[in-house]
Structure 1
Amino acid sequence: MSGAPLAAGTVERDWRTPLELTVLGAIWGCSFLFMRVAVPAFGPYALVEVRLLLGALVLLPFLWQARAQFPARRWLWLAPIGLINSAIPFVLFAWAAQRAPAAIGAICNAMTVLFAALIAFLFFGEKIGMRRAIALLVGFAGVVVLATAKVSGLSIGAAVMAGALAALLYGLGVNLVKRHMTGLPPAASAGATLGCAAILLLPMALTHWPTAPIPMLSWACAIALGVVCTGLAFLMFYRLIARIGPARASTVTYLVPMFGALFAWVFLGEPVTGAMVVAGVLILGSVAVSQKR
C-alpha cells in the first residue's frame, strides 16, 4: 500500500514542476513587454521605483516574520546588494526598453548565468573549467551579434550593452547573495533587498518623475511589473528552488527569452530578426553547456 501514494506524489511533482517553470518563464518574459509599454510614460527611474516598491510590499510579510534574523549589521550588505542586484539592473533594462524591442532585454538577461560563473572565477577563486570558459566565449559572441544588428533599420547596440551590463550586475549580485546572505529566508531576503533598492532609488525617481499624466495602460503595466513579475515571481522561484534545487530551477533562464520575444511579437508587433535568433541560440546554447553536469 505504501507504493501507491509515493508513485502518485511523484507523478504530481513531475507534472507540477514543468508547469510552474513554464509559468515563471512566461511571467518574467512578460516583464520585458510591460517595461516596453510603460517606460515611455514613466521614464526608467520612476518605473523602476514603482516596481521595487510594489515588489517589496508583496514580500514584506515574509521579512516581518523573519525580522529577528536581520540585525543591523546585516543591512550593511543588504543595501549594496539591493543596489547591485535590483535597482541598477532594473533601470538599465528599462532604459534599454526605450530603445530596442522587448526581446533584446530578454535575450541579454540570459547572460546572467555566464556572468555569475565569470565573476566567481575572477574574484572569488572558483574554478571555471574549459567547457565553461568556451561557453562564456560563445555567449559573448552572441552579445556581439546582437549588438551589431539592426531592427527596422535602427541600431540597437546601446540597448544591448545596457542589457549585458545589467546581466553582469545580476551575476555579481548572485555571488554576493551566496556569500553574505546564506542561511537567511530567501523571500525575506528578497523583500529586504528590494526595499533597500527602493529607498536608494527614491531621490532619482522623485527628481525624474514624469510631469505629463501617465496613461492607465502604463500604470497597469507598472503595477503588474511590481506585483506579479517581481514580488510574486520571487515567491514562485524560491519555492521551486526549495523543491527541486537551484540547478533545475535555473532552467527557467531558457524560457524567458522565448516568451519575451513571443509576447513582443504578438502584442506589440515587434519583429524577430535573424540576428536575434542567432544571438539567442548562441547565448542560450552557451548557458546550457555551462550548466551541463
Structure 2
Amino acid sequence: MDGASVVRLLLLAAIWGASFLFMRIAAPELGAALVAEIRVLLAAMFLWAASVFFKRSLRVGENWRHYLIVGFFNSALPFILFSYAALQLSASILSILNATAPLWGCVIAAALDRQRIPVKTFSGLVLGVIGVGVLLGFDTAVVSEAGWLPCLAAIGAAFCYGIASNYTRRAKADDAFSNAHGTMWSSTLILLPMVILFSSTEQVTVITEGAVLMSVTALGVICTGIAYLLYFRLIKDVGAASALTVTFLIPVFGVLWGGLFLNENMGWHTFCGGVIVVIGTMLVTGFSPKNLFKNRSAHV
C-alpha cells in the first residue's frame, strides 16, 4: 500500500468514525427516522451528481430488486438503528459496536455454508463477545434498564451489515459505484414511511439549526457520499481485503471525536472493550498488519 492509499485509508476511517459523532448530535433533535432519511437522501443526490460527472448510468430495470435488498440491509435499517441507538449511547460505543460487523458476517456465512468455524475464527468470535460485554457491562448508560434497547439496536445494525455482505457476496450484482448509488435511492424510498409515521413538524423545523444542519449534511454528503467514493478508490488501488482494514480504524476515530467534541467519558472499559473487539475481529477476518504493505492481490 503506497503513501497515497494509506492517507485515503486514514481519511476514510476518520470520516466514518465521525458519522457516529454527527448522529449523536442530530438524532436527539430530529429523531432516528428523519436523521436516517436525510442521510440517504443527501447521499443519493450527491452520488447522482457524481454519476452525471463520471457518466455512470443506473440500470434500474435490471437491478431494482437487488438495490432494494442491499439498500434495506446495508443502509436503511442499520442507519435508522444506529440513529436510534445514538439517542442514548455515546459516539465512542457506537463506533466500537460497529466494528463487530465482520464477526456477524462470519457467523452468518458459516450458517449459510454449513461449515464448521475454525478454532482461530471461533476464538475471535469469543473475544468479540467478551469485548462487547466489557464495553457495555461497565457503562453507566447501559447498566440502566433504558440503555439496553439502544445497545441491542446498535448490535442489530452491525448484524445487518453482516447480512448485506453475505448477500452481495452471493448475488449477481452491479458494479460498486452503481450499487452505492442505486441503494441510496432505494433506502430513501424504504425509510420514507417511517418518517411520515414517526417524525413531527417540530422535528422538521429544527433541521435549519446550525449544529443540526451541519451534522445531517455531513452525514449525507461526507460520511456517506464522499466516503463511498473513497472506499471504491481504495478497493481499486489496493484490493478489497486491504480496504476492509478500515473497519479496525473506525473505533479509534469514533472514540477520538467523541472525546474531543462531545466530552464523552472514556473509561478503562471503553479502551479495553474496544481493543478486545478489534483483536477479535482481526482473528475472525484473518487480518495481519503485514497485509497492508503487500502488493495488491484482490480487485473488485
Report whether the alignment pairs 1:267 with 2:257: no
- Number of the residue aligned with 1:5: none
State which of 269, 276, 285 in structure 2 corresponds to 1:291: 285
- Number of the residue aligned with 2:179: 189
- State how far apart, in whole Å, the 1-side matches of 2:89 and 2:166 are: 29
| Matching residue's letter, 2:93 | I
- State how far apart, in whole Å, the 2-side matches of 1:145 and 1:153 are: 11
Report the aligned-residue RMSD. 1.9
**TM-score normalised according to structure 2 size:** 0.87
State which of 68, 73, 85 in structure 2 corresponds to 1:79: 68
CA 59–126 in structure 1, closer or farther in 2 if over 3 Å, else same: farther
Report whether the alignment pairs 1:168 with 2:162: no
- State how far apart, in whole Å, the 2-side matches of 1:108 and 1:58 are: 28
- State how far apart, in whole Å, the 2-side matches of 1:181 and 1:93 are: 28
Deviation at 1:48, TM superposition (A): 0.5
State which of 71, 78, 82 in structure 2 corresponds to 1:93: 82
- State how far apart, in whole Å, the 1-side matches of 2:70 and 2:141 are: 37
Deviation at 1:219, TM superposition (A): 1.2
Report whether the alignment pairs 1:232 with 2:232: no
Q: How do 1:236-255 residues align onto structure 2 when only pairs under 5 Å count?
A: 236-255=230-249
State which of 32, 50, 53 in structure 1 corresponds to 2:41: 53
- Number of the residue aligned with 1:202: 192
- State how far apart, in whole Å, the 2-side matches of 1:139 and 1:91 are: 23
| Matching residue's letter, 2:286 | K
- Number of the residue aligned with 2:252: 258
Deviation at 1:127, TM superposition (A): 5.9
Report if aligned partners of 1:181, 1:189 keep a CA contact under 8 Å in 2: no
- Number of the residue aligned with 1:278: 272
Deviation at 1:143, TM superposition (A): 1.6
Deviation at 1:46, TM superposition (A): 0.4
Report if aligned partners of 2:142, 2:148 keep a CA contact under 8 Å in 1: no
- State how far apart, in whole Å, the 2-side matches of 1:113 and 1:148 are: 22
Report if aligned partners of 1:66, 1:185 keep a CA contact under 8 Å in 2: no
Aligned to 1:93, the other structure's residue is in SS state: helix
Report whether the alignment pairs 1:144 with 2:133: yes
CA 290–77 in structure 1, closer or farther in 2 if over 3 Å, else same: same
Identity %: 33
Deviation at 1:209, TM superposition (A): 2.6
Deviation at 1:288, TM superposition (A): 1.4
Deviation at 1:244, TM superposition (A): 0.4
The one-character-per-residue Cα deviations of 1:103-124 (angstroms, maximum 9, x if unpaired) are 1110000011111111111113
Equivalent pairs counted in the alignment come to: 279
Report whether the alignment pairs 1:177 with 2:168: yes
**TM-score normalised according to structure 1 size:** 0.89
The one-character-per-residue Cα deviations of 1:57-88 (angstroms, maximum 9, x if unpaired) are 111246564446x2534212221221111111
